[in-house]
Structure 1
């Protein structure tokens, strides 16, 4: 008998976690969102309501999007959130020690059958697997921001991942409307971020170094390549917190760029589209 995935818990209800939860529920799965406290869950409910409006406007057949939003269960009790989960998708901040800590707890609380998938953007699953208590049922499942539009799901296991588990997650990705991108071995950044991160870092280096303004960098990229968006527009979509965390784990040059990002944008509440302003201003 094959592995069945029907009940899904998403750990972390931030920008991307809330999208993953909503898309999964929209495709008919039983979804629970977990976050650390009631304030975070209240914010999550607001994100779901906004996603319902977005889906109605942008996704064919999304007339019942409000029902999708209302149907997502929310919990700040980790044990209760995962007690019946077939699959747990972890989307907590991109900090290795934080991910390791939550998997140590998760491994003791979730049923033995539960598959764990990290949405980590840059960290290798092999850096986390020993903390899960079930390395054969653990892998990476990486989504791009605006999952209803940029619908890739990159799937990357470790040497310990059970091939049947891997294929079950490939099938799940298809079932929720994603295009599965299968990686044959571990690669930091998967396919998408192996291409995207160097572009974003080069753009920030140009602006932080005083070579060109973000608008000029974006204009150059759009005109020169025909791309619909420049790197700073992409950063605003991603949200500036994740790039900041990634840069802070890098060398001295990357940490200097992270400090520039913090001083000029993050500390001023300019986190990207989600807050109405990042490198650009956005109307509601």
Structure 2
């Protein structure tokens, strides 16, 4: 099977990047979201992504114009997937939302369509039954700023057909990714198995009153040479995702400290519209966050 037509569900931070990267590499892409206003914001993001691709990749104007021409937009679920060879879901990190979504999608998608979830923390086996096509369902997980941090983790579940797994591995390579096949289901894959405990440790230091976010970031950056610290990473990933992951882990483990941290993120950031880079403010203010100031590490 050859992948030509791709549908991306969810036009948020990562969904938008997946769609643009895929179109940039020559595939036809339909972007689906539940509201027209979200799709309008996605178009604005794509214009900004074009500037980033020029700066970071040396992309030519005609290449970006061609990528834009391969992008289509809709709020109609059945229409979005009508010709899809591959469907990539990047909707909120909530298991019930994903289950409900796949139940709907499985009813309207063509038989040929392979489904992939970009879930950061959930296992494919947790939602495979709802897809109605477990043999054609697996995870395809990208790191943020995928044009630079170009990793794609591919993880099936016991019922995934090996042939479909290989098709997705080949697709990941075709859109410029370093494909990382995961041989066994693992919450968080490889990347987030390393990253999530790191980010959680930063939250614990902050909410226990040990140190403030800037001090924690400065410590990490200075001591390791890393370009950013954990709270800058939270801003890039988005505070909504941070909240969902923190709350899900807290609910699963009964960890009271993490429950309180999740509630604090909701009250102090999400409820105030401070969602990170996307809204211009999170733990830092953008477009000129303090951690990019030359004096930050002095």
Which structure 2 residues correspond to residues 12-161 of structure 1 after superposition, within 5 A?
A: 12-64=10-62, 65-161=64-160
Shift of 1:66: 3.8
Cα separation, 2, equivalents of 1:149 and 1:60: 12
C-alpha offsets along residues 40-99 of structure 1, whole Å, 9 cap, x if unaligned?
211111111211122122112342324423431001000000011000000000010110
Deviates more, 1:170-179 or 1:265-274: 265-274
Contact 1:52 1:68 (C-alpha < 8 Å) held by counterparts: no
Shift of residue 163 of structure 1? 0.5
- TM-superposed deviation, 1:280: 1.1
For these two proteins, the number of residue pairs brought into alignment is 282
Structure-1-length-normalised TM-score: 0.96
- Asked whether the equivalents of residues 240 and 271 of structure 1 are also in contact (C-alpha less than 8 Å), the reply is yes
Q: Work out the CA distance in 2 between the residues paired with 1:76 and 1:66.
A: 23
3-state SS in 2 of match to 1:43 = helix
Distance 2:172 2:244 in 1: 27
TM-score (norm 2): 0.92
Moved more, 218-227 or 130-139: 218-227
Q: Are the equivalent residues in 1 in contact too, given 2:27–2:70 (CA < 8 A)?
A: no
Q: Distance in 2 between matches of 1:62 and 1:102?
A: 37
Can you list the C-alpha shifts for 1:233-261, whole angstroms capped at 9, x where unaligned? Answer: 11111111101011122233222111111
Matched-pair contact (CA < 8 Å) for 2:16–2:42: yes
Match of 1:172 in 2: 171
Inter-partner Cα distance in structure 2 for 1:39 and 1:227: 36
How far, CA to CA, are the matches of 1:254 and 1:195 in structure 2? Answer: 18
Give the counterpart of 1:271 among 271, 275, 298: 275
Q: Secondary structure at the match of 1:283?
A: coil
Query: Distance in 1 between the 2:257 and 2:186 partners?
Result: 23
Corresponding residue number in structure 2 for 1:243: 242
**Residue 152 of structure 2: SS of its match in structure 1?**
strand
Other structure's SS at 2:115 match: strand
Hey, what's the Cα distance between the residues in 2 that align with 1:180 and 1:96?
Answer: 25
RMSD of Structure 2 on Structure 1 (CA): 1.2
> Which residue does the alignment assign to 2:193?
194
SS at match of 2:242: helix
User: 1:49, 1:66 within 8 Å by CA — same for their partners in 2?
Assistant: no
Distance 1:180 1:194 in 2: 17
Q: 2:265 aligns with which of 261, 264, 270?
A: 261
Name the structure 1 match of 2:293: none
